Amino acid sequence: MSSDLPTLHTGPGPLDFPDSPLGRAVRQPMMLGLFLPLQTGAFSQSTLPRGTRWDFPYNRHLTEVAESYGFEFVFGLQQWVPKGGFGGETRYRENFLDPFMSTVALSASTSSILTISTVHVLYGNWHPLHLARFAATADHISGGRYGLNIVTGYAANEPLMFGMERIQHDNRYDMADEFVSVMEDLWAGEDNLTYDGRYYRLTDAYVSPRPRYGRPILVSASGSPAGFAYAGRHSDIVFTSSPAGAEFDRAIEALPAHVAKIKQAARDAGREVKVIINPTVICRETDAEAKAYYDSIVSHADMGSIEAYARRHQGGDAKGWQQHVPADRIVGGHIQIVGDPDTVTAQIARLRDAGMDGIQIGFYDYLPELHFFGEHVLPRLKAAGLRL
């Protein structure tokens, strides 16, 4: 934060408590998360028939299954879309459960898995005091298993829904820096907080009860130097994309240097962060079957929704995903892992070698593919030393 602003200080976070849920999760050589399909079409723009649904009972069941297999976390995506979503045959993402509400509800029906919600903190009238109390409440509901994925919004049309113009890219991170710094001070709870900053003001503000492990888990999704710097100051986990597109062999070459930049930004701030990526996993009993399934998904591309999504992305100012092409959207994911259980295990090992601390997995047909992964890939990950 700028030196002319009042000083805010950061208290301890969940990684400072080895017995915290996050402290236990990061002991895994490779953390596993599930990217929940809270929206129509999940993350794949294909019309190939599947059982994936966006409704809450389905997502609750997926979360319970992921927890039974020992997954460390589930994530919920946030996006604001108009009527019809992105259109096409699937009306992609028209129905969209709010991830903040959904992940809090999921935390109440689980016992060990971390539930992480994405929040656009700069849209509308969000104030740090509101979110600090809401997140502290979620922290108590979950027993310290709740996290916030703080995002600033890159799309051109989303701010318009809130009566706003899009804020310049790096300025958004300045605002998020102050927003989260205020929340951290409120969570520390040393006294009533009076603060007169560039973007936010508070007089005698206080939040109690305070989070169990210093503060909720903080996550960010970053692809730019400004985003890396923000993450280095605040985040426990950084969710990033491949800077070279979703095709595995091309992506894996670019990831080591990319991950190193993120981790160095944290070290520059005197901290350490964990970095994760979102692969779509296509796994079958043989490589040939997995490739045939992948080709079937691609052959049923919902081109109408893909073209609409591509226009939205081109109108945004995100620094990540710049090398991703519209075809990547058919199967989805920031990187794609396709093969039999041995191939999938080997590629996850390569991600670990590239510096990744975890993966946030998406599937095409979620429930049966999650079970297949749990029954066939997890034992191999353990045998390879990637899981405890």
Q: How confident is the model at residue 3, as a pLDDT? A: 39
**Beta strand pairing status for 193-196 and 201-205?**
antiparallel
Q: Which pTM does this prediction carry?
A: 0.95
Find the radius of gyration of the CA atoms of the chain. Answer: 20
Instruction: List the CATH number of the domain containing 106.
Output: 3.20.20.30
Closest-CA residue to 359 (of 340, 342, 375, 377): 377
Closest-CA residue to 32 (of 5, 63, 2): 63
SS3 75: strand
8 A C-beta contact, residue 134 and residue 114: no
Q: How confident is the model at residue 312, as a pLDDT? A: 80
Q: How confident is the model at residue 321, as a pLDDT? A: 52
Distance of alpha carbon 65 from alpha carbon 387, whole angstroms: 17
Closest-CA residue to 353 (of 262, 252, 228): 252
Please count the CA atoms within 13 angstroms of the CA of 242 that sit on its side-chain side.
27
SS3 138: helix
Per residue in 49-67, pLDDT (tens digit) is 999 999 999 999 999 999 9
Q: How confident is the model at residue 317, as a pLDDT? A: 65
261 is a domain residue: yes
- 167: which residues sit within 8 A by CB, 6+ positions away? 122, 152, 159, 175
147 is a domain residue: yes
- 85: which residues sit within 8 A by CB, 6+ positions away? 39, 40, 41, 91, 92, 93, 94, 95, 96, 305
366 is a domain residue: yes
CA–CA distances in Å: residue 194 to residues 121, 176, 198: 20, 18, 13
173 is a domain residue: yes
8 is a domain residue: no
Distance of alpha carbon 233 from alpha carbon 236, whole angstroms: 9
Distance of alpha carbon 226 from alpha carbon 245, whole angstroms: 21
Q: How confident is the model at residue 9, as a pLDDT? A: 60
271 is a domain residue: yes
Distance of alpha carbon 154 from alpha carbon 25, whole angstroms: 30
18 is a domain residue: yes
Per residue in 330-383, pLDDT (tens digit) is 999 999 999 999 999 999 999 999 999 999 999 999 999 999 999 999 999 999
Parent domain of 118: 14-383
| Alpha carbon 143 to its chain's center | 20
For the chain, residues with pLDDT lower than 50 are 1-4
6 is a domain residue: no
Domain tally, the chain: 1
8 A C-beta contact, residue 368 and residue 10: no
